[in-house]
């Protein structure tokens, strides 16, 4: 890295230190940088680097709730995690229960599920609950 690049590199590195993800523009796409990768050499033009934008979500509207999807708390990364299934919605509440035979167990305000992930393919891929804005 050249000393003349410090004025634009330092703010990026401070954001990375806070846990943000640095991205580099390559072949028409923004790609997450590995902290150990050569991308951190900052030898490319400054407009090819950025901090990854944070996804902003709004709560699902009742008609957008993916009934039948599995959900899990995004802060629990345990492999022995208990998944639950969205069974329905009514009056601003989403009704969830385990994917077994139990009846409606929990009620959560629609907005509260923004701290959860949902899967519509039996846990192969997980997405934030809500709609990107």
For residue 112, is pLDDT > 70? Answer: no
Q: Give the Å distances, CA to CA, from 73 to 44, 77, 87, 113.
A: 39, 8, 17, 9
The Cα–Cα gap between 14 and 40 comes to 13
Res 104: pLDDT: 39
Strands 116-119 and 70-73: antiparallel
Maximum mean pLDDT: which of 29-38, 50-59, 70-79: 50-59
The Cα–Cα gap between 101 and 130 comes to 26
Res 61: pLDDT: 80
**What percent of the chain clears pLDDT 90, i.e. is strictly above it?**
7
Q: Any long-range contacts for 96-102 (C-beta under 8 Å, 24+ apart)?
A: 96/71, 99/70
For residue 121, is pLDDT > 80? Answer: yes
Complete edge-to-edge strand list for the sheet that includes strand 93-98? 106-109, 93-98, 84-90, 70-73, 116-119, 127-128
Task: Give the rounded distance of the alpha carbon of 30 from its chain centre.
Answer: 16
């Amino acid at each position: 890295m050249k000393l003349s690049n410090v004025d634009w590199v330092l703010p990026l590195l401070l954001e990375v230190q806070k846990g943000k993800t640095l991205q580099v523009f390559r072949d028409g796409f923004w790609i997450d940088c590995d902290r150990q990768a050569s991308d951190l050499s900052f030898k490319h033009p400054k407009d090819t680097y950025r901090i990854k934008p944070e996804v902003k979500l709004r709560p699902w509207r009742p008609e957008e709730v993916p009934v039948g999807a599995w959900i899990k708390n995004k802060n629990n990364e345990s492999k022995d995690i208990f998944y639950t299934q969205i069974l329905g919605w009514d009056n601003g509440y989403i009704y969830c229960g385990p994917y077994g035979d139990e009846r409606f167990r929990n009620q959560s305000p629609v907005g509260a599920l923004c701290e959860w992930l949902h899967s519509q393919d039996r846990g192969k891929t997980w997405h934030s609950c809500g709609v990107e804005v």
